[in-house]
A and B are shown apart, each in its own frame.
Chain A
Amino acid sequence: MRKQSSTSLALTVREHDAALGGLIRANPLAILVVDAHDRVQMVNPAFEALFGFRETELVGHPIEAFIVPADRAAEAAVLSRRGFDGQSARSITQRRRKDGSIVDIDLTVVPLVTGRNAAGAYGIFRDMTEQKRAERHLRAQYAVVEALANSSTIEGAASWVLRSVAEALHWQAGVMWIVDKTANELRCVDCWCAPEIDGTQFEEETRRGHFAHGAGPGRTWAMGRPNWISDVTKEPAFSRRTAALTAGLHAAFSLPMMLGREVVGVLEFFTRSILESDDQILRMFAALGQQLGAFIGRTRAQEQLERFFTMSGDLLCIAGFDGQFTRVNESWHRTLGHSTAEIMSRPFMDLVHQEDREPTRAMFAGLMRGTPVQAFENRYRCKDGSYRWLSWTATPKPDEQLVYAVAHDATARKLLEHQTQETLKMRNDFVSFVTHQLRTPLSGIKWMLELAGDTDDAGEKASYIGDARESANRLIGLVNDLLDASRLESGKLQVTIEPVRLREITDAVLGDVATLVREKGHVLDVESLPDLPVAMLDSQLMRQVILNLLSNAIKYTPPGGRIEIRMGRENGSLRWSIRDSGIGISPASQKRLFEKFFRAENAQTVDTEGTGLGLYLVRLIVERLGGAVACESEEGRGTLFYFMLPLAAGEVT
């Protein structure tokens, strides 16, 4: 067996290669040929390109001295041994370039056999950098996606995002900045430093930092595109230079988080190496910036909706088909007074007014069949036991077994509707009532005049005309009362204030009704303080007040009753009162006694000519003169009316 020299081995290989059309030299894979002593015989141009060595530098020297990192020496030796033993071997490993950088490779060792002996070995290297990088990027992307999926806010996701990305890239620090629109600056959301660096100072300074538009990471914000610094410790404009130096950080890269065309934040990553701009990293980070920006956009949109949900004056809720609320907004508490927990803890039907439960059940059954609801109204119980009217709009979501509903507090509107209806009814009642009240004296006038015209007897004629005149007076009285009420209501009634002696007015009115009192056989008792003060009043209006009260007392007291009038002073006011032993007024009627056109039930049975204006006018006048009127009564026992009026200035002592 002839021992082949190294030179001849190389020659042999070259000859074979030439015969095969430059299979080795032209191969895109890096190929190395070593002899049995592991000395380089030849390398192809792809090898030169991958490792940065010229073939002439290597030939004749043991290969491990050049490309095997210290930690891979044993593994390299094993591989070579197998090749020399005539076996192929393969390893996913790392080798060193001439510039010292490490490259991931897929290495196959194939024995080089001449005759029957292994004379050396081929080493075939496939550059795995791209694949490895792609794997790391994929891992980082996955980590980011996972972080975002598990968080509802960017603050919650920040730490995990920074760490995953930095670790996947073998970088040592990451910072997330968010644009604070109010302060118009960047605010640090989070900062992550790898445990292997001394990042305490760097992290502290970073977290404290606020950067204006255009300064520090604010430059990336201003530019709207990524920015690469090969060594921050050499960058005078980098404010955290000393801290970076302590942490051993050099290359830095920042990129904007984009929401559409708006920069909503900035990411910064730092590494211990001094690195020139890397297109691969640039591309990957750009995608990350978009992804995070979109996330911020989504969370903001969600926050906005959430804010609406919280703020809304309407009652918003989500209810399950099981009849329980699954979510209610603050407005429920604000409107009904129950705590949110109380509302959620029981079926919502518990809060619905007893009378509204059946229609509510029917409405909810419709929702469960998929029919949306609009303008449904029911009453909900408040904490204090009162009820509020809610007007509902609801949409079912059968696949979720949920109902989304909005309720508007319609209590005020309901009340207004009710009042409007009452007002309308009152107006109608007013028209029919006034019509009736006007027609009656008009008929009296008409018929009396007809009778007067038909008779030749002078005495009869005069009597009929007398009745016609009385009917006419009644009609005028009614019209005047209506007019007075209307003027007092609108404040247009002319009031003449002058010193008035209430006793004198009372006596004058008593003179007017003396016949009536006598006819009914009432006993009248009038008492007043001897030195009753003078009041500043309108005497005409006061006369009307006293006449109305006195007429009522006479009218609604059965014959032979007792009427007492008292005048005095009380708490610096004039007090005038009238007590009768009449039919009295029910408590329900007392409440409404001073309302326009209101007539007590039992008053109607005594006389149907009343207009329901007398006491109303009394109240309007007394109030117009700065006083107040009230009534105390017991049905069947009698009634006390009294009013208080302010004294004239000189009389107040």
Chain B
Amino acid sequence: MTEGKSILLAEDDRFLRRACETKLKQAGFDVRVAVDGEEALTFAREKAPDLLLLDLLMPRRDGLSVLAELRRDVATQAIPVVIMSNSSKDLERQKASTLGVVDYWIKSNLSLQELCDRVTQLLLRGNK
């Protein structure tokens, strides 16, 4: 079951943040939101989520830097991370992949439902 699984959503755009948060909460996930990179890092360290949905281009600290910081620390290095970006730069994809991510999604190509289904699938797989 995915009920009650914790998700940390790091997204600086308030519309996208609101949409994702609403949809995932409706699906029954325990969602916490971070509005920039620094916040994302702080929240992840406070309590490691079951999944981190991480935007790349964010104020104060970008997503790749957050990811690198998490991977450096034993307490946070195992957090499953999915990059959710609207950037298709190969270099960013490569860097993320090197640091270890579960997947890399382009937001504009997903509907909220698809997003929610993928998250559910990931967390179910993690259960086994």
Contacts and interface: CB of A to CB of B under 8 A. Distances in A.
A441 B20 CA distance: 14
A447 B112 contact: yes
B59 A435 contact: no
B105 to A, nearest CB: 11
Interface in B9-34: 12-13, 15-16, 18-20, 22-23
Interface residues of B, number: 25
Contacts of A432: 87-89
B113 interface: yes
A604 interface: yes
Contacts of A446: 108, 111
A608 B59 contact: yes
A467 B18 contact: yes
Nearest to B12: A608
Contact of A440 (B18, B61, B86): B86
B58 A608 contact: yes
A605 B61 CA distance: 7
Contact of B86 (A439, A451, A605): A439
Nearest to B107: A443
Chain A CB within 10 Å, residue with most, of B18, B19, B22, B88: B19
Given A443-B108, A608-B59, A451 B23 contact: yes
Contact of A448 (B19, B87, B106): B19
SS of A interface (majority): helix
A451 B19 contact: yes
Interface in B52-106: 57-61, 85-89, 106
B118 to A, nearest CB: 14
A444 B58 contact: no
Contacts of B107: 439-440, 443
Given A447-B20, A607-B59, A439 B15 contact: no
Nearest to A468: B15
Contact of A450 (B60, B85, B112): B112
A536 B11 CA distance: 45
Chain B CB within 10 Å, residue with most, of A436, A444, A447, A471: A447
A440 B88 CA distance: 12
Contact of B113 (A436, A450, A604, A606): A450
Nearest to A606: B59
Contact of A436 (B16, B58, B61, B87): B87
Chain A CB within 10 Å, residue with most, of B23, B85, B108, B113: B108
20 contacts: A432-B89, A435-B88, A436-B57, A439-B108, A440-B16, A443-B86, A444-B13, A444-B19, A446-B108, A447-B15, A447-B111, A450-B111, A450-B113, A467-B15, A467-B19, A468-B15, A470-B15, A605-B61, A608-B57, A608-B59
Given A467-B15, A468-B15, A608-B57, 5 more contacts: A435-B86, A436-B57, A442-B108, A447-B15, A471-B15
The 9 closest A-B pairs by CB, nearest first: A444-B15, A447-B19, A439-B86, A439-B108, A443-B108, A443-B107, A608-B57, A436-B87, A450-B112
